Structure 1
Amino acid sequence: MTSDSQQNTKGLLLALTTAIMWGLLPLALGSVLQLMDSYTITWYRFLFAAVLVGIGLKNKNQIPALFSKDKRWLKPLAIAAVFLSLNYILYLSSLYFVPAETAQMLIQMAPLMMLLGSVIFLKEAFSRGQMVGSVVLVIGLVLFFNQQFSNSSTLDRDDFIMGFVIMLGASVTWAIYAIMQKQMLKRFTANQIMWVIYVFSSLFFLPVSSPAQVSSFDWIAILLLVFCCANTLIAYGSFAKSLEFWPASKVSAVLAITPLLTVFFATIAQQFFPQFISAQELNTLAYIGAMLVVAGSVLTALGNKILSKQNIAKLKVCLTLKK
């Protein structure tokens, strides 16, 4: 196997690991939410991440000096921490109202929000490919939720609206956090930023959490909670590593299949654990919408290459020759 082939294989496997972790996460969270409140789950996840990332930074002597003479970074760090904390709690709260598959589709609004925020606040370019991808993504979401609009869904409309509003908030808060992190990478590494956020957020949620709830868990529930805690580190670790072997555009394109993986995992899990997980009943239009959501996400990530002037010119030539 050539060096390039090895690089591509590693990049693909790591990106798939991230997609699988994120695809499974809402299913695990939905099960744990039946036994533990959202604040306590979030506190455990942040504490777990803060301890392990902190150990890694300590071993590398990379604990950030936050209170040095240059304190201008404290404010954006605090803002990023607040908004990521809000994102975690809003995402979890939405699972009280909508199934995991619906939640995973709705959270696809987050990268779109970040893209729009980058264009408005960071003055980044908004390419033709990204514009087409955004339109396809919105159309896909509308089709995926067609049953909610036609009253043919088993999901209560009021629950859907509440879940949609909460997830819209989760998408906005994640986009704000991501834009803030983008700016702070000029001063800190990604792990340093995340460690500060994890520590701040674990302290933030401690007063409203009830850690003792875990004492009533059986071994399956404990394993699910540990998986939820480890998921962020595994997913983000694989994501960061995949960028060493693959371009960000290719990684993003692979991650676009995450909503489909959640639909797939929910269908499989229901066969084995019907008492814990109930897969959402989807019609043909919803499946087409799910495909369009993925296609829109891929176009947003790779649109510059797929819809480049050169490729469009080649397509026109091919169509002309066929005539």
Structure 2
Amino acid sequence: MQNHTKGIIYAAITAFFWGFLAIALKVAVREVAPVTVVWIRFVVAFIMLSGWQSFKSPASFRILIKPPVLLILAALALSWNYMGYMLGIHHTTPSNAQLFIQTGPLILAIAGFLIFKEKLLRNQIIGFSIALLGFSFFYRDQLQAFFESADTYQLGILLTISGALAWSVYAILQKKLVRTFSVDSLNLVLFGLPALLYIPFVEFRPLLELSWSWWLLLVFLGANTFIAYTCLGKALKYAEANKVSIIIILNPMITFITMGILTELNVSWVEHERFSAITIVGAALVFLGAVLVARKNKSR
């Protein structure tokens, strides 16, 4: 399999897992404090990765002794990305948080052209234009809800945007670092350092009172982090940043479809969303634009 194809597949796996993440986080904060949820995500992901690397490549742990400065900065950025996104979901709905967190991948796409000197070809220009048109339809109802919302709701959106900006810093630094280091060794620091930083803010007592079903949800969130960010690192290694970003941006469609099903089922454990025929048209345009951007060019 060619590297370009590998990169697209890894990015698609990341988008798939992130598509369900916002809903799971919204449910988790009903019972667990946001900072505790963030800490558990990093801890579970670090434990899973450490177990895997202990058998696969024990030498990768050497990076923990003296991590590069850029890697430390990337870990700090990722730690706030998690917290900003978590607080954003706490104050808004999963779909609205998914809307504004896409600021991060959009910045990464721009960085691909400006920083990494990636070529923007005709089919990619057309694809980006179609995708942006689709987003204007896809998010119309959510943007309307934002402008009609209360102050607390808007605070959640601003926190989400701050998390998106932090994610773009992480992704740009990660794109540079994967040229020299393996993805798994980088993730040991990216998961481990935030886990240490958040320990003073964690409420441990409520965790002892959780039932097995809540613990299952928290483990899922950690596994989601491990799988998604491992695949994301590999996607950035094998494919251009602008293509990775447009694939990742597809993940809100998974969230919207899932939320649409849950809204129709009238479940009580997650807030309902707004949907319309225009939302569906927008989703189709976004998908078409992503296909044009991600398609391999024969001349390259």
Tell me the TM-score normalized by structure 2: 0.81
After superposition, give the CA deviation of every residue in 1:237-285 in whole Å (9 maximum; x if it has no partner). Answer: 56678999x9889987765542222112123334557121233121222
Q: Runs of 5+ in structure 2 lacking a partner?
A: none
- Partner of residue 103, structure 1: 97
Matched, 1:121 2:115: yes
* TM-fit CA distance, 1:54: 1.6
After superposition, give the CA deviation of every residue in 1:21-61 in whole Å (9 maximum; x if it has no partner). Answer: 22211111100012222211111111111122122222222
Aligned to 1:156, the other structure's residue is in SS state: coil
- Partner of residue 77, structure 1: 71
Matched, 1:65 2:62: yes
Structure 1 segment 132-281 matched on structure 2, within 5 A: 132-147=126-141, 156=149, 158=151, 161-237=154-230, 257-270=250-263, 274-281=267-274
Do the aligned partners of residues 141 and 16 (structure 1) sit closer, same or farther apart at CA in structure 2, a change above 3 Å counting?
closer
Aligned to 1:62, the other structure's residue is in SS state: helix
* TM-fit CA distance, 1:187: 2.5
Q: Runs of 5+ in structure 1 lacking a partner?
A: 310-323
After superposition, give the CA deviation of every residue in 1:89-115 in whole Å (9 maximum; x if it has no partner). Answer: 111111123321222233333222112
* Native 8 Å contact 1:105 1:141 kept in 2: no
Do the aligned partners of residues 211 and 125 (structure 1) sit closer, same or farther apart at CA in structure 2, a change above 3 Å counting?
farther
Do the aligned partners of residues 77 and 14 (structure 1) sit closer, same or farther apart at CA in structure 2, a change above 3 Å counting?
closer
Paired AA for residue 113 in structure 2: V
How many corresponding residue pairs?
Answer: 294
Do the aligned partners of residues 208 and 50 (structure 1) sit closer, same or farther apart at CA in structure 2, a change above 3 Å counting?
same
* TM-fit CA distance, 1:149: 5.5
Do the aligned partners of residues 11 and 114 (structure 1) sit closer, same or farther apart at CA in structure 2, a change above 3 Å counting?
closer
After superposition, give the CA deviation of every residue in 1:98-154 in whole Å (9 maximum; x if it has no partner). Answer: 321222233333222112123223333333344333333333333333335656x89
Q: Quick one: distance in 2 between partners of 1:161 and 1:140?
A: 24
Q: Quick one: distance in 1 between partners of 2:42 and 2:200?
A: 14
Is 191-200 or 177-186 further displaced after alignment? 177-186
Paired AA for residue 51 in structure 2: I
* Native 8 Å contact 1:38 1:92 kept in 2: yes
Aligned to 1:95, the other structure's residue is in SS state: helix
* Native 8 Å contact 1:20 1:258 kept in 2: yes
Is 269-278 or 77-86 further displaced after alignment? 269-278
Among all aligned residue pairs of Structure 1 and Structure 2, give the percentage whose two residues are the same amino acid.
27
* Native 8 Å contact 2:243 2:293 kept in 1: no
* TM-fit CA distance, 1:158: 4.2
Paired AA for residue 47 in structure 1: V
Pairing partner for 1:23 from 19, 25, 45: 19
* Native 8 Å contact 2:132 2:286 kept in 1: yes
Pairing partner for 2:44 from 22, 41, 48: 48
* Native 8 Å contact 1:112 1:134 kept in 2: no
Q: Quick one: distance in 1 between partners of 2:183 and 2:206?
A: 32
Q: Quick one: distance in 2 between partners of 1:11 and 1:81?
A: 22
Q: Quick one: distance in 1 between partners of 2:141 and 2:246?
A: 27
- Partner of residue 37, structure 1: 33
Do the aligned partners of residues 36 and 154 (structure 1) sit closer, same or farther apart at CA in structure 2, a change above 3 Å counting?
farther
Do the aligned partners of residues 272 and 62 (structure 1) sit closer, same or farther apart at CA in structure 2, a change above 3 Å counting?
farther
- Partner of residue 312, structure 1: none
Q: Quick one: distance in 1 between partners of 2:45 and 2:258?
A: 25
Q: Which has the larger radius of gyration?
A: 1
Do the aligned partners of residues 107 and 127 (structure 1) sit closer, same or farther apart at CA in structure 2, a change above 3 Å counting?
farther
